[in-house]
Structure 1
Amino acid sequence: MSTISERAAAAAGRTGEADDLKLPEEYVDQFPESTPLADPMADYEPGDDDPEMVPVHLAWLRVRRDIRAIGKGEEYNERGTRYNFRGTDTVVQYFGPVTLKHGVNVLPVKTETTYGTKQTKSGGTMRECSVTVTWHIMGPTGDVLELQTAGEALDTSDKSTTKAQTVALRNLLLNGGLIPTGDRDPDADRIERGIEAPARSAESYRDEILNPKTSAARIQQIGYEVSNLRMLNNKVANENGDMETLDSLGPRIYKERTGGGQ
């Protein structure tokens, strides 16, 4: 089998041993595969502002060291729900300058999605997206760490995918960077549980029902309480010393207090 150089020489009307042949310049463009591929980093010399050429695991460690912590400085307070959180924008603002400083790129290389629909309380429909994103954390020399994170989001229009990917990015930076919040640890507080109040006895409810100062409204409320406690059939000694169930005693005294009306 002839080589590219031999074929080029034959086309030019020259013959000879392959080692003695030289590809004419006019044929170089026609046979680009014969030209050695250039190494883009071969002549690279770091400038004053360029990162140090270190492996990616070391560059990522330096990023983590510079970030330290990101506090939960943002607050969600809607529909009676309130909590503090670390938003994606805030997290990216912390990581952006530091990854530039250390020559680290964070690149999504594969995204797997699933979709569904959810009904809102008002009867509307929301599109749900769950994503699994494969990321390459690329160091200054081009080597990579491959990581995966998941995210999910709901949206009423066409933004559920973008939102889910944004959550996946935040999870990557916070979890992959092991970034603490700087908040007080929940285990630092110790709260002694108090002794729960004992359940009321049937006799205590009888005494309250028979008390002349107990209002008709309160007697009605007692009926709900003893019903929830399943004490309606409990027998107690009434004002005459006779045994009577709470289910009978309460309504009878209620009628007496209200003049027989309901």
Structure 2
Amino acid sequence: MKVNEAIIEVMKDVGAVGKGDRNTFHNFNFRGIDAVVNALSPAMKRHGVTVHPSQIIARDYEHYTTDKNKQGTACRLVVEYTITGPEGDVIHCVAAGESADTGDKATPKAMSVTFRTALLQTFALPTTETDPDAQVMERQAPRPVTGEASNLPDFRGMMQSATTPDEKNAIWNQAKEAGAPVKFLDELREIGS
């Protein structure tokens, strides 16, 4: 069986992988690397499919300091993966990922994101959620954004005083609604973590 045929057999066996993990800070569900690998691994073994990173195509690091004076690293990667079938033939896929960490985990986190993305795209794993095209969204005219964090209410102080994930999420959403720039929203996320 050729690699592309084996991939199709894995797809038939696995089906949907739901978004069972939760990001409480930004209030959304996601499919983590463990859920994806756990769903795929038995079928990949059964059909003789392996996946491994074969080349880091691009790598970028950015060092930053949080408002709490912690040193952090952001890592952005583009990785090529090799998918091998039971006959030894291969195909390649490329996936991008990024992460940030104030410890020593920025690169491993980014590798997990690229691996998860490569698997999701290669095996076209659906979720159990409603198709986003099933809903229609009406847009308002865009609000003017000043780009100046100094013109915003004291969201930093509010975030520092917040004690629950729900409070932090509400403050972040208020800042976003007020037109806070992305850099400021990232700073608020770091304060709340």
Query: Could you say which TM-score interval applies, normalised by the shorter chain?
Result: 0.5 to 0.7
SS of corresponding position for 1:183:
coil
User: Hey, what does 1:64 align to over in structure 2?
Assistant: 11
- How many residues are treated as equivalent by the alignment? 139
Q: Taking structure 1 as reference, are residues 170 and 191 closer, same or farther at Cα in structure 2, changes over 3 Å only?
A: closer
| Residues 1:125 and 2:71 aligned together | yes
1:159 matched to which residue of 2? 105
Shift of 1:192: 7.4
Runs of 5+ consecutive residues of structure 1 not aligned to the other structure? 1-53, 195-262
Shift in Å at residue 185 of structure 1?
2.0
Give the distance between the partners of 1:114 and 1:157, measured in 2 at CA. Answer: 17
Indicate yes or no: 2:2 matched with 1:55. Answer: yes
Task: Between 114-123 and 177-186, report the one with greater CA deviation.
Answer: 114-123
Q: Distance in 1 between matches of 2:120 and 2:64?
A: 28
CA apart distance, 1:118: 2.6
Query: Residue 92 of structure 1 aligns to which amino acid in structure 2?
Result: V
Q: 1:66 Cα deviation (Å)?
A: 1.4
Gaps of 5+ in 2: 141-193
In 2, Cα distance between equivalents of 1:133 and 1:190: 35
Counting helix residues as a fraction of each chain, which structure ranks higher? 2
Residue 48 of structure 2 is aligned with which of 86, 92, 103?
103
Equivalence map 1:179-198=2 (5 Å): 179-190=125-136
Tell which structure's C-alpha radius of gyration is larger: 1
Could you tell me how far 1:191 is from its partner in structure 2?
6.6
TM-score normalised to the size of structure 1? 0.50
Q: 2: CA distance between counterparts of 1:190 and 1:131? A: 34
**Greater relative contact order (Cα < 8 A, sep 6+):** 2
| Shift in alpha-carbon separation, 1:118–1:100, aligned structure 2, 3 A | same
**Alpha-carbon shift at residue 124 of structure 1 (Å):** 2.2
Question: Hey, what's the Cα distance between the residues in 2 that align with 1:169 and 1:189?
Answer: 30
User: What displacement does 1:95 show?
Assistant: 0.8
SS in 1 for 2:27: strand
Take 2:16 and 2:93, find their aligned partners in 1: how far apart are those partners?
Answer: 21
Q: What are the superposed Cα offsets for residues 215-261 of structure 1, whole Å, 9 maximum, x if unpaired? A: xxxxxxxxxxxxxxxxxxxxxxxxxxxxxxxxxxxxxxxxxxxxxxx
